[in-house]
């Protein structure tokens, strides 16, 4: 009877200690490895990928919009001024 009780006690003790050990190791791994890893990966992604992407997209957008605006305004200006210049040249010739 005593042997069975000791065996049961040892088995229970082993189960409890193993479970606690597993829980502690898992918690420590989460705190020491996973969280910093997630933080580092997120930060690196933000600085290495997201910021350059935002910079490139903003620069391209600025360049395209500015170029189109400049082209449209210059074309309109030349068209309007060209008509006046053509009329002036015709008047000068005659």
DSSP notation for 39-79: HHHHHHIIIIIIHHHHHHHHHHHHHHHHHHHHHHHHHHHHH
90 has a pLDDT exceeding 80 = no
What confidence score (pLDDT) does residue 37 get?
Answer: 85
What confidence score (pLDDT) does residue 86 get?
Answer: 60
Q: What is the pLDDT of residues 20-55, one digit of tens each?
A: 999 999 888 888 888 888 888 888 888 888 888 889
Look up residue 33 and give its DSSP letter: I
The better pLDDT of the pair 38, 2 is held by 38
Confidence of residue 3 (pLDDT cuts 50, 70, 90): low
What confidence score (pLDDT) does residue 36 get?
Answer: 86
User: pTM of the predicted model, to two decimals?
Assistant: 0.41
7 has a pLDDT exceeding 60 = yes
What confidence score (pLDDT) does residue 84 get?
Answer: 62
């Amino acid at each position: 009877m005593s042997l069975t009780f000791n065996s049961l006690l040892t088995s229970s003790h082993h189960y409890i200690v193993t479970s606690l050990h597993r829980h502690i190791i898992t918690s420590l791994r989460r705190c020491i490895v996973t969280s910093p890893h997630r933080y580092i990966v997120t930060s690196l992604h933000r600085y290495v990928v997201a910021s350059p992407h935002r910079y490139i997209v903003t620069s391209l957008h600025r360049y395209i919009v500015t170029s189109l605006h400049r082209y449209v305004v210059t074309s309109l200006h030349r068209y309007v001024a060209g008509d006046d210049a053509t009329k002036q040249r015709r008047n000068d010739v005659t």
